[in-house]
Amino acid sequence: MSNLSLVFQQVRKPVEIIGVACGEGAQDKRCDCGPDALRQANVCTRLQKLGLSATWAETIRPDSSADDTPLRVVKGICARLAQHVHASALQGKLPVVVGGDHSCAIGTWKGMASALRPSGALGLIWIDAHMDAHTPQTTPSGALHGMPLACLLGFGDDELTQLNDGLRLSPQHVCLIGVRSYESSEAELLRGLGVRVFFADEVSRRGLAAVLRDALELVQAGTAGFGLTLDLDAIDPSEAPGVSTPEPGGLRASELIAASAMLQGHPALRYVEIVEYNPLRDHDGVTADIVSDLLQAMLAVKPQAPDAKTLMETESRYGAHNYEPLPVVLTRGRGVHLWDDSGKRYLDMMSAYSAVSHGHCHPRLIEALSAQAQRLAVTSRAYYNDRLPLFLKRLCEISGQDLALPVNTGLEAVETALKAARKWGYKVKGVAKECVEIIACDGNFHGRSIAIVGMSSEAQYRDGFGPYPTGFVRIAYGDVQALEHAITPNTAAFLVEPIQGEAGIIVPPRGYLAACAEICRRHNVLLICDEVQTGLGRTGRIFACDHEAVKPDGIILGKALGGGLLPVSAFLARRDVLGVFKPGDHGSTFGGNPLASAVGLAALEVLIEERFAQRAAELGDYMLRKLRALQSPLIREVRGKGLLIGVDIDPARASARDVCDVLLQHGVLSKDTHHTVVRLAPPLIVTSEQIDEAVSALHATLAQLEVAADRAA
């Protein structure tokens, strides 16, 4: 098998998932809809796709009776669950119970213990932020989900302790992991019984993997097997918000998933239970993803999965070396975070050069993508489709332009703008044949095609790629008089970035764009704004040209238009500009395809409804203040607008690449431009707390590099 194979091995037993849709034992009863939400999140399907024999057998629900007390409801649920788990075990299956509140643990353990009784005792690993060891006499809340462990140990209401002939859990066969919130009466009970508790501080000190190894030895000593029950509140709520009783701190999800791999194919594992999932708190589905990842880690194994070093070497061996990535292999993303192949989480302060302004895997965009992909994806423009008209209409409404021409990448949109400007120059303005000129700026970055790099002032972009098309003139950026002097009767258009991104987040003088617009109008020259990086809310307005109330004759959009999922771009302009195109003049097989149109339309709606521009304005000001307050000799300047920010690093002391490399170690992803500027452009869903985290990491990074620079001096 190749070392790049991702083949999964199947556990020995078929997996049978049993939902327990009951929250009667909890104070917040909304966890009763947890199993249904997990089923809708395709937890079972994901296991099947790994080659596992997995079925969702049943979802147990309370019998409807208005007179039932929580105790009676929980007793009925646990009795039915015990019967189902017992039957599942006798059929040679591995029960996976998903709840619901943690009181269901009584039924799960008793059902499996009764099935195993002829062979021996059943051990139990209990992973929880709480001890769940209250009795009816010690409970401060009366909530039954705080009592199941005490009940299993024989200390609880008789109606629950006597289920399944009063089977009891032996104290020496159980251990708790991750406890960080409990009452003294619970601790006293467990201590008196000799139950081993691995408190959160011990887990933090030793590492979860080491603790779990000890726990596995303990629960297998003198038993016929063991079960594992996990209350999701054991995980840090900043990573897993969808829980019934969140407690600050806790286990890192990535560490728990990695440690859970110890259970893969374990011959003594008899059941798995994951409880207290509350989907109403899990707005972006991240907790549901963690549940799925945990079950995959416990039940399936990826043999010979390539490590980061192997993957990077493979890319270097088979890929052209036109990029120099940072040394990290990313495997998944959600919101403002990315995870590498080892499970380490990073704060994304790059957002793929503004392509991921909506955040990674925005649920509404994923839904739009999935729904459309199952209907119709690509037809070519040889036919009409039912998505493109809606997308074009919304684009024109938001931009105030008359027409839009959809393509795929930013480069294609720029090329479209250049072709339209040239033809407009000939057909509308009346420039003599082959004489049209287009003005661009020093430091521009509009893409890397032959024509576009022909406009570039960057030596590396041009080296070895000539000869270049003629008809382009370049002037100093930010210099109004330079534009005035460069215009001739042959000038058709002025192509400009409202803020130069790749040049190092260069913000022109206030009033520059408005003055350029006035000059262009006076000379009958098209003003075309390249808003591929700055557009769609990034700078604190829908378009960066809105800061100066400028309505250009044409706007180039891309990157964020695809919602971080697909390449989607467009050139939008006045009717007389794009009206010069006739059928056959210009085209794109994939441009305007139904899939891209559906995602692009959803991206625009999310942009408006979630107030991305307003968020970027407010949080951009906040971030600029925080960054400018940093006292470091390495920083020459902090500049930007909205959430498009550059930190200019003194090259005499360090390179911006050095800063990005050390930031990576601190869990923050960024990228330098020209080795002198660190780009900070997070997804527009970023919070002030996450900005604080990024700034704190940058502060630590700069301090580390200052020491290195002083030593070198």
Same domain for 565 and 630? Answer: no
Q: Which two tokens stand for residue 560?
A: 């964020």
Task: Return the minimum-mean-pLDDT range out of 107-111, 164-168, 435-439, 634-638.
Answer: 164-168
Give me the mean pLDDT over the 480-503 stretch. 97
Asked whether the beta carbons of 311 and 341 are under 8 A apart, the reply is: yes
One-letter amino acid of 7? V
User: What are the backbone angles phi and psi of residue 693, rounded to the nearest 5°?
Assistant: -60, -45
Does residue 10 lie in a domain region? no
Q: Which residues are bridge partners to 679 per DSSP?
A: 646, 671
Residue 237: which residues within 8 A CB-CB, separation 6 or more?
243, 246, 247, 248, 250
When pLDDT is cut at 50, 70 and 90, the band that residue 269 belongs to is very high
What SS3 class is residue 356?
coil
What is the predicted pLDDT for the residue at 6? 32
- 491-496 vs 437-441, strand pairing mode: parallel
Residue 8 contacts residue 300 (beta carbons within 8 Å): yes
Q: Is the pLDDT score of 667 beyond 90?
A: yes
pLDDT tens, 630-657? Answer: 999 999 999 999 999 999 999 999 999 9
Alpha-carbon span 50 to 662, nearest angstrom: 36
pLDDT value at position 267? 87
Kind of pairing, strands 174-179 and 196-199? Answer: parallel
Give exposure, 6-22, as e/b (b: 16+ Cβ within 10 Å): eebebbebebbbbbbbb
pLDDT band (50, 70, 90) for residue 305 = low
Residue 32 to residue 38: CA distance in whole angstroms: 11
How high is the pLDDT of residue 633?
94
Residue 37 inside a domain? The answer is yes
Q: Compute the distance between CA of residue 16 and CA of residue 228 in angstroms, rounded to an integer.
A: 15
Predicted confidence (pLDDT) at residue 1 exceeds the cutoff of 80: no
Same domain, residue pair 335 and 383: no
**Domain limit, last residue, from 265, 299, 333:** 299
**Pairing of β 196-199 and β 223-231:** unpaired
- Pairing, β 569-573 against β 403-407: antiparallel
Same domain (yes/no): 628, 579:
no
Sign (positive or negative) of CA dihedral 259, 264, 269, 273: positive
Cα dihedral angle (368, 369, 370, 373), rounded to 10 degrees?
120
Is 374 part of a structural domain of the chain?
A: no
Instruction: Work out the mean pLDDT of the chain and round it to a whole number.
Output: 92
Separation of alpha carbons 484 and 480, rounded Å: 7
Q: Indicate if 125 and 255 belong to the same structural domain.
A: yes
Q: Which of 565, 586, 609 is the last residue of a domain?
A: 609
In this predicted structure, the answer to whether residue 449 has a pLDDT above a threshold of 60 is yes
Q: What pLDDT shows up at residue 529?
A: 98
Specify the CATH number for the domain of residue 283.
Answer: 3.40.800.10
In a domain, 493, yes or no: yes
Strands 121-127 and 174-179: parallel
* pLDDT, position 387: 97
* 227 and 348 share one domain: no
Higher pLDDT pick, 634 / 332 = 634
476 and 457 both lie in a single domain = yes
Would the CA dihedral through 10, 14, 19, 25 be positive or negative? negative
- Same structural domain for residues 592 and 621? no
Let me know: does 219 contact 270? Beta carbons within 8 Å: no
Other CB atoms within a 10 A radius of the CB of residue 322 amount to: 6
| Encoded tokens for 324 | 């120099």
Q: How far apart are CA 681 and CA 502, in angstroms?
A: 12
> Which of 478, 543, 486, 482 has its CA nearest to residue 513?
478
Q: Which of 706, 656, 703, 704 is nearest to 680 (CA)?
A: 656
The answer to whether residues 592 and 618 belong to one domain is: no
Residue 152 lies in a domain: yes
Q: Is residue 176 part of a domain?
A: yes
> Which pLDDT band holds residue 141 (cuts at 50, 70, 90)?
confident
Residue (of 682, 698, 549) closest to 626 by Cα position: 698
In Å, how far are 38, 179, 266, 646 from 43, measured between CA atoms?
Answer: 6, 27, 21, 41
Cα–Cα distances in angstroms (integers) from residue 224 to residues 220, 253, 269, in the given order: 7, 29, 9
pLDDT > 70 fraction of the chain, expressed in percent and rounded: 97
Are both 578 and 626 inside the same structural domain? no
**Residues 174-211: b if buried by 16+ CB within 10 A, e if exposed:** bbbbbbbbbbebbbebbeebebbbbbbebbbeeebeeb
**The pLDDT value given to residue 8:** 34
Strand extents, DSSP E, 517-615: 526-530, 554-557, 569-573
The CATH number of residue 526's host domain is 3.40.640.10
Q: Go through the chain and tell me how many residues it has.
A: 713
Q: Residue 178: give the domain boundaries.
A: 15-299
Cβ-based burial of 166 (10 A; exposed 0-12, middle 13-18, buried ≥19): exposed
**How many Cβ atoms sit within 10 Å of the Cβ of residue 351?**
28
Q: Could you tell me if 702 and 633 lie in one domain? A: yes
3-state DSSP assignment of residue 648: strand
Tell me what pLDDT residue 11 has: 42
> Looking at the 3D structure of the chain, how many domains does it have?
3
CATH label of the domain that carries residue 627: 3.90.1150.10
Pairing state between β 526-530 and 337-340: unpaired
Q: Mark whether 618 and 574 lie in a shared domain.
A: no
Quote the pLDDT of residue 7: 32
Q: Of 103-107, 557-561, 618-622, give the lowest mean pLDDT range.
A: 103-107
Question: Which of residues 551, 585, 609 is at a domain's end?
Answer: 609
Residues 221, 664: Cα–Cα separation, whole Å: 43
Please say whether the dihedral angle defined by the alpha carbons of residues 242, 245, 248 and 249, taken in this order, is positive or negative.
negative
Question: What is the percentage of the chain residues whose pLDDT exceeds 90?
Answer: 80
Question: Which residues are known to be catalytic?
Answer: 445, 530, 559
Contact present, 396 and 571 (Cβ < 8 Å): no
Strands of the 635-641 sheet, one edge to the other: 635-641, 644-649, 677-680, 671-673
Assigned domain for 3 exists: no
Judgement on whether residues 590 and 623 belong to the same structural domain of the protein: no
In a domain, 5, yes or no: no
Q: Which tens digits make up the pLDDT trace of 338-382?
A: 999 887 899 999 999 999 999 999 989 999 998 999 899 999 999
Distances from the Cα of 113 to the Cα of 167, 197, 227, 262, angstroms: 7, 22, 10, 22
pLDDT value at position 2? 32
